[in-house]
Amino acid sequence: MNASGNKYQKGFLDAVRNGDTAELKKILECREGKVNVNSFDTEGQTALHQSCMNGNLKLVKLLVKFGADTRLANSDGWNPLHIAAFSGHQDITLYLLHANRTIPPKR
């Protein structure tokens, strides 16, 4: 990713950390192809993992809509569904269960 791509990625990660759904949507719509929604941070989490931990269903839905992989494991081996269930976020858990049913299995 080039320098401008890194700028977009930083803005993406900041919007996720801040729980800013409007800013995240703007970044994802305007910078499609320039932001990796499945990138791992220094702690081994993706934006989807972080949003599941934070209990932010709006961010979770937005990230999945823009291609976040619901099956990626973090550095501890937990996928977003594990994190949502363990954290007690029933709404996110149910959403991810449904989302996983509509995604074809990996081969």
The Cα-based distances of 74 to 40, 67, 99 in angstroms read 8, 17, 18
Of residues 104 and 91, more confidently modeled: 91
Task: pLDDT band for 107, please (50, 70, 90 cuts).
Answer: low
Percentages of the chain per state (helix, strand, coil), in multiples of 5:
60, 0, 40
What tens digit of pLDDT does each residue of 16-28 get? 999 999 999 999 9
Instruction: Quote the number of domains for the chain.
Output: 1
Note whether residue 107 is domain-resident. Answer: no
pLDDT in the model for residue 3 = 44
Q: Report whether 46 contacts 15 (CB < 8 A).
A: no
Domain containing residue 38: CATH number: 1.25.40.20
Model confidence over 27-78: pLDDT tens digits? Answer: 999 877 789 999 998 899 999 999 999 999 999 999 999 999 999 999 999 9
- Tell me the residue range of the domain where 33 lies: 3-102
Asked whether residue 52 is domain-assigned, the answer is: yes
Whether 28 is in a domain gets the answer yes
pTM above 0.75, yes or no: yes
